[in-house]
Amino acid sequence: MAPAPDGASALALGIDLGGTKIAAGVVDASGRILGRGHRLTQPQEGWEAVVDRMVAAGEEALAQAGVTAEALAGVGIGSPGPVNPETGVVVEAANLFFKNVPLAEAVAARFDRPTYLDHDARVAALGEYRFGAGQGATHLVFVTVSTGIGAGIIVKGRPHQGAHFAAGELGHTVVMPNGPRCTCGLNGCLEAVASGTAIAKLAREAMARGEAPILAQLAGHDPERVDARLVAEGVRRGDPACRQVLDQATFYLGLALAGVINLIDCDRIVLGGGVAKMGELLFEPVRRTVAASVVATGRQVPIVPAALGSDAGILGAASLALAPLTPGS
Amino acid sequence: MAPAPDGASALALGIDLGGTKIAAGVVDASGRILGRGHRLTQPQEGWEAVVDRMVAAGEEALAQAGVTAEALAGVGIGSPGPVNPETGVVVEAANLFFKNVPLAEAVAARFDRPTYLDHDARVAALGEYRFGAGQGATHLVFVTVSTGIGAGIIVKGRPHQGAHFAAGELGHTVVMPNGPRCTCGLNGCLEAVASGTAIAKLAREAMARGEAPILAQLAGHDPERVDARLVAEGVRRGDPACRQVLDQATFYLGLALAGVINLIDCDRIVLGGGVAKMGELLFEPVRRTVAASVVATGRQVPIVPAALGSDAGILGAASLALAPLTPGS
């Protein structure tokens, strides 16, 4: 199912399937999104209905781009997982109530085009690799720091899937064996220390102990208003507890990234997700910790912000169906 | 430089270049070593003289196998590094006084056969993958726990090199930010907690504090006699400090391996090196920690002892020059 060699093959439909929203886009070989479509996921209605809405979002994008499905080299899908890219099956996606759903086949039947599926974290990494902040890297790790922490690894243009298609679970690296409890049941996972959820929770606890006076003021003493963005604001205004929480988060995130560099020797790390929007407040201490913790080989591994925002999902999904950047790569 | 298609091509010469010794072997496609050769490395005499001794060891192996170089599909070399497998150059090997040595080219000129070079840790991993405890795995991580700790990663039959050919530095993952000083200058690297050197050093310190009475007896109160093997014996005989040192080493080794599994999703881990010879004293607690620390996906990742001992270097080096197991893999 190699993409057709004619000019029309330089278009692909990318579908980013999320727990609440579906975003679709018609993408050309240079990464322009020529048309977009959206639907709510409504997973409680069953997977066949979700496929209907994926197709509807795709048709909306095709209509906006002024093309028909025949013009597509193929369709790419990014889905929560684990997924099996070889069979096109979503093995399990708890937030979608999916279990062994033959998603690629179902979508292929509707557009009658070659259809590819991969895990959303790897798909977003592929988008940044091909069209965003990862361009030019040979070994890219894209780390999303959001409510959770996950990574997508791209080696020479291809997503590293892993033996069980489960690679990239960076968030559950234990960095503080006696640290805060993680949602996974362990203590001290990176996610329990450095995710947006964790940063907010740890700051909220400090506030409850009366240790975060400036944050308390910013939040109007309402714990529910404390999120990672507000903690960052607290740091800027000199709140000691916010500073301590963020120092801890960036230190352990930096240590974990240094471990990634030591182990797989990537040449770029892209950080995305809501927490990465803190900018230098996050990047500066993370870069400092990484520089101090990587095996000295003279290499410099740039750690840069994601460039595509939420479009990484559409662009990466489309990349699955576009011809590879370099023939045979 | 594809191996010749005839029967004779099913032989390769593997050369394992170490800081003190060179071992060579003529290897067939089933992993039998048909002839062996040995030399001392004597790196202080310069790299050209080292090449002479590598060639002499190789010729010894050929003579013992009763074949000439013409019978070889090629020659493979495992070297300390970093090395660049694409150019065949040893970029730097401090213990050999090598800097930018065109080792593959120099050896190729002498045997007149296609010659391949890779880093010794990856070469040993390839040996275990093809002929040893890694057979049948698709994503193998081979971890050597010896004076240092290093890893070789094999993905679908190919060594994962990394962007700077520096992948596998698992020993310098920081696992205890305030832990013991590592030779690399950082604190709390895995190597500073769980290598043979570290285990001996930490036990020696406990002995000096009077906390290791049984170990002191075993060592005849001579700190110089304390090595990882003796610490293991101390554990077996109930020494509390030896127990504490080994518990700490196996806990952090287990955490680090769980991190490897979470990140790259391998389906087998092989442990080799002197410390792994402790057997169940090491494997049982490591497996327990890994099982408790890996993201739950239902997968079981076997953690098994290396099978090839020091022959992994010869067999892996030869593998570089043997035809791939599966065509196109």
Q: What is the pLDDT of residues A94-142, one digit of tens each?
A: 889 999 999 999 999 999 999 999 999 999 999 999 999 999 999 999 9
Three-class SS state of B259: helix
Considering only the beta carbons, identify the residue of A153, A186, A293 that sits closest to B293.
A186
Asked if residue B168 lies in contact with residue B151, where contact means CB atoms within 8 angstroms, the answer is: yes
Considering only the beta carbons, identify the residue of B161, B186, B264 that sits closest to A167.
B264
pLDDT at residue B323, as a whole number? 76
Decide if B295 and A166 are in contact by the 8 Å CB cutoff: yes
By percentage, how much of chain B surpasses pLDDT 70? 95
Decide if B166 and A297 are in contact by the 8 Å CB cutoff: yes
Decide if B299 and A151 are in contact by the 8 Å CB cutoff: no
At B2, the pLDDT band (50, 70, 90 cuts) reads very low
Asked if residue B174 lies in contact with residue B187, where contact means CB atoms within 8 angstroms, the answer is: yes
The C-alpha of A171 sits at a distance from chain B's nearest C-alpha, in angstroms, of 9
Cis bond before residue A180 (omega within 30° of 0): no
Q: Which residue of A has its CA nearest to B255?
A: A174
Q: What are phi and psi of B27, to 5 degrees?
A: -120, 140
Parallel, antiparallel, or unpaired: how do β-strands A303-305 and B33-40 relate?
Answer: unpaired
Q: How far apart are CA B200 and CA A236, in angstroms?
A: 47
Q: So what's the ipTM on this one?
A: 0.91
DSSP string, B295-316: --SS----EEE-SSTTHHHHHH
Asked if residue B162 lies in contact with residue B119, where contact means CB atoms within 8 angstroms, the answer is: no
Q: Which residue of B has its CA nearest to A259?
A: B173
Decide if B167 and A299 are in contact by the 8 Å CB cutoff: no
pLDDT mean over B157-162: 93
Q: How many CB atoms lie within 10 A of CB A295?
A: 17
The C-alpha of B265 sits at a distance from chain A's nearest C-alpha, in angstroms, of 5
Considering only the beta carbons, identify the residue of B251, B262, B299 that sits closest to A172.
B262
User: Does B298 have pLDDT greater than 80?
Assistant: no
Decide if B170 and A263 are in contact by the 8 Å CB cutoff: yes
Q: Which residue of A has its CA nearest to B296?
A: A184
User: Does B312 have pLDDT greater than 60?
Assistant: yes
First to last CA, chain A: 16
Decide if A295 and B166 are in contact by the 8 Å CB cutoff: yes
Decide if A164 and B255 are in contact by the 8 Å CB cutoff: no
Considering only the beta carbons, identify the residue of B160, B163, B296 that sits closest to A138.
B163
Parallel, antiparallel, or unpaired: how do β-strands B158-159 and B149-155 relate?
Answer: antiparallel
Distance, C-alpha B86 to centroid of its chain: 21
pLDDT at residue A326, as a whole number? 53
With beta carbons under 8 A apart, name residues in chain A contacting B162: 139, 264-266
With beta carbons under 8 A apart, name residues in chain A contacting B165: 265
With beta carbons under 8 A apart, name residues in chain A contacting B265: 161-169
User: Options 3.90.550.10, 3.30.70.20, 3.30.420.40, 3.90.1640.30; which CATH number does B136-306 get?
Assistant: 3.30.420.40
Per-residue pLDDT of chain A (329 residues; tens, 9 = 90+): 444 444 445 899 999 999 999 999 999 999 999 999 999 999 999 999 999 999 999 999 999 999 999 999 999 999 998 899 999 999 989 889 999 999 999 999 999 999 999 999 999 999 999 999 999 999 999 999 998 999 999 999 999 999 999 999 999 999 999 999 998 888 999 999 999 999 999 999 999 999 999 999 999 999 999 999 999 999 999 999 999 999 999 999 999 999 999 999 999 999 999 999 999 999 999 999 999 998 876 778 999 999 999 999 999 999 999 977 654 33
Q: How far apart are CA A171 and CA A185, in angstroms?
A: 13
Decide if B139 and A173 are in contact by the 8 Å CB cutoff: no
pLDDT at residue A329, as a whole number? 38
Decide if B164 and A251 are in contact by the 8 Å CB cutoff: no
Please tell me the pTM assigned to this model. Answer: 0.92
pLDDT at residue B245, as a whole number? 98
pLDDT at residue B6, as a whole number? 46
First to last CA, chain B: 16
Q: What is the pLDDT of residues B91-118, one digit of tens each?
A: 989 889 999 999 999 999 999 999 999 9
* H/E stretch holding B109: helix B103-111
Disruptive mutation site among B83, B160, B265 for chain A (greatest number of A CBs within 10 Å): B265
As annotated, the residues of chain B forming the CATH 3.30.420.40 domain(s) are 7-131+310-321, 136-306
Considering only the beta carbons, identify the residue of B160, B166, B297 that sits closest to A164.
B297
Decide if B166 and A299 are in contact by the 8 Å CB cutoff: yes
Cα→Cα distances A39→A54, A68, B98, B239, Å: 7, 19, 60, 65
Give the architecture-level CATH label for domain A7-131+310-321.
2-Layer Sandwich (3.30)
Parallel, antiparallel, or unpaired: how do β-strands A139-145 and A268-272 relate?
Answer: parallel
Residues near A316 by Cβ (< 8 Å), separated by ≥ 6?
A: A14, A76, A78, A122, A123, A124, A125, A126, A127, A128, A129, A130
Q: How far apart are CA A15 and CA A50, in angstroms?
A: 12
What class has domain A136-307? alpha beta
pLDDT at residue A9, as a whole number? 59
A303: β partners? A269
As annotated, the residues of chain A forming the CATH 3.30.420.40 domain(s) are 7-131+310-321, 136-307
Cis bond before residue B82 (omega within 30° of 0): yes
Disruptive mutation site among A174, A252, A255 for chain B (greatest number of B CBs within 10 Å): A174
| Segments of chain B assigned E as strands | 11-17, 21-28, 33-40, 74-79, 83-84, 89-93, 98-101, 115-119, 139-145, 149-155, 158-159, 268-272, 303-305
pLDDT at residue B82, as a whole number? 87
Could you tell me which residue, B236 or A4, shows the higher pLDDT? B236
By percentage, how much of chain B surpasses pLDDT 90? 87
Cα→Cα distances B187→A98, A189, A292, B103, B184, Å: 45, 20, 11, 35, 9
Residues near A279 by Cβ (< 8 Å), separated by ≥ 6?
A: A305
CA-nearest of B156, B143, B141, B157 to B263 is B141
pLDDT at residue A81, as a whole number? 83
pLDDT mean over B44-69: 98
Decide if A262 and B169 are in contact by the 8 Å CB cutoff: yes
The C-alpha of A59 sits at a distance from chain B's nearest C-alpha, in angstroms, of 35
What's the full length of chain A, in residues?
329
User: Does B295 have pLDDT greater than 90?
Assistant: no
With beta carbons under 8 A apart, name residues in chain A contacting B251: 177
Disruptive mutation site among A155, A165, A173 for chain B (greatest number of B CBs within 10 Å): A173
pLDDT mean over B30-55: 97
Cα→Cα distances A108→A22, A75, A97, A112, Å: 17, 8, 21, 5
In a 13 Å sphere around the CA of B313, the CA atoms on its Cβ side amount to 21
Position A16: which residue type?
D
Q: How far apart are CA A12 and CA A73, in angstroms?
A: 6
The C-alpha of B19 sits at a distance from chain A's nearest C-alpha, in angstroms, of 20
Q: How far apart are CA A129 and CA A121, in angstroms?
A: 12
* Secondary structure of chain A in HEC code, one letter for each residue: CCCCCCHHHHEEEEEEECCCEEEEEEEECCCCEEEEEEEECCHHHCHHHHHHHHHHHHHHHHHHHCCCHHHCCEEEEEECCCEECCCCEEEEEHHHCEEEECHHHHHHHHHCCCEEEEEHHHHHHHHHHHHCCCCCCCEEEEEEECCCEEEEEEECCEECCCCCCCCCCHHHCECCCCCCECCCCCECECHHHHCHHHHHHHHHHHHHCCCCHHHHHHCCCCHHHCCHHHHHHHHHCCCHHHHHHHHHHHHHHHHHHHHHHHHHCCCEEEEECHHHHHCHHHHHHHHHHHHHHCCCCCCCCCEEECCCCCHHHHHHHHHHHCCCCCCCC
Disruptive mutation site among B83, B86, B161, B262 for chain A (greatest number of A CBs within 10 Å): B262
Decide if B165 and A265 are in contact by the 8 Å CB cutoff: yes
The C-alpha of A321 sits at a distance from chain B's nearest C-alpha, in angstroms, of 22
